[in-house]
């Protein structure tokens, strides 16, 4: 079914946000018309790749690319 079975998203990470943080994430998700989890995943992966110096551009499609 999947070309790479390791790409199946089966692991869960819980993040607790306050009302203000949630409002920012929700507004971003609403603006882009995508689920909140997708916004958070992309933000997390961008920050991780920046910190670690890894280029993840070939692995996932960004919201900006999808909007075009």
Could you count the other beta carbons within 10 Å of the beta carbon of residue 39?
20
Q: What are the angstrom distances between the C-alpha of 41 and each of 1, 8, 20, 46? A: 23, 14, 19, 9
Answer with the residue of higher pLDDT: 7 or 34: 34
For 9-67, what is each residue's pLDDT tens digit?
Answer: 899 999 999 999 999 999 999 999 999 999 999 999 899 899 988 887 666 555 555 55
pLDDT of residue 3: 81
The whole model's pTM is what?
0.69
Under the banding of pLDDT at 50, 70 and 90, the label for residue 4 is confident
Could you count the other beta carbons within 10 Å of the beta carbon of residue 47?
10
pLDDT of residue 55: 80
């Amino acid at each position: 079914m999947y070309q790479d079975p390791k790409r199946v998203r089966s692991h869960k990470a819980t993040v607790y946000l306050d009302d203000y943080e949630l409002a920012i994430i929700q507004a971003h998700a609403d603006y882009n018309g995508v689920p909140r989890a997708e916004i958070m995943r992309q933000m997390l992966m961008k920050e991780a790749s920046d910190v670690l110096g890894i280029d993840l551009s070939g692995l996932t499609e960004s919201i900006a690319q999808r909007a075009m």
